[in-house]
Amino acid sequence: MKIARIPAVGAELPIGKILCIGRNYVGHIKELGNETPAAPVIFMKPATSVIGDGDEIVIPPYSANCHHEAELALLIGTGGKDIPVDKALSHLAGYGVAIDLTLRDVQDELKKKGLPWEIAKGFDTACPLSDFVPASTVADPQQLQIRLTVNGTLRQDGSTSLMIHSVAQIISHISSIFTLEPGDIILTGTPAGVGPLVPGDRVCAEISEVGSLTVTVT
């Protein structure tokens, strides 16, 4: 069983659903040549895809193009259905750092055929995830800087202020489709700058006021 931890308050929650938002930053939409969606694009990762700080990414043999996507992660502390936007942040237990690993070549082929993305997004080790900080310690989740380096070279440098759909809007929208439960995790999308990883790479993602996460590629 995979566990989400908030060390500052000694809290632990078994990880439930991992609900991910795609195409939530204009810059990332443009760099992949996608259309801007009218509503949040939602996909899922299994809890078995989670690895922690210091762990290793294993790129599956069926892909030759694995990309990094640094993201703000949300940990649900209080469940709910049809959560109003103005109440959404009160359902959070914490904020964390995530890397949404994507097998871009596999995803592109699936998209061409109109098929789901899960084998490109949910493979083992596809969701590096940090511990969480208490939600109460983050003054404004829409004013956080997201940075990712590969072998010390800056690849991604963006702000959550650039989100198309805010954290509160994402929680509200997702809860209109899926009942949210304690331990569920939401990944909120990635800013521009995504790129390929190869064996031997050291990947570091950090979000201001939240924390950092370092993993390597085997």
Percent of the chain with pLDDT over 90: 91
Q: 114 or 26: which carries more pLDDT confidence?
A: 114
Q: Examine the pLDDT at 35 and tell me if it is beyond 80.
A: no
Confidence of residue 32 (pLDDT cuts 50, 70, 90): low
pLDDT tens profile 53-79: 999 999 999 999 999 999 999 999 999
Question: What average pLDDT does this structure show over 17-46?
Answer: 84
Q: Bigger pLDDT: 98 or 35?
A: 98
CB 88 within 8 A of CB 172: yes
Residue that is written with structure tokens 């991992």 in the block: 18
Burial class (CB in 10 A: 0-12, 13-18, 19+), 93: buried
* pTM assigned to the model: 0.96
Domains located in the chain, CATH noted: 9-217 (3.90.850.10)
Sign of CA dihedral 90, 93, 94, 99: negative
The pLDDT, as a whole number, for residue 56 is: 98
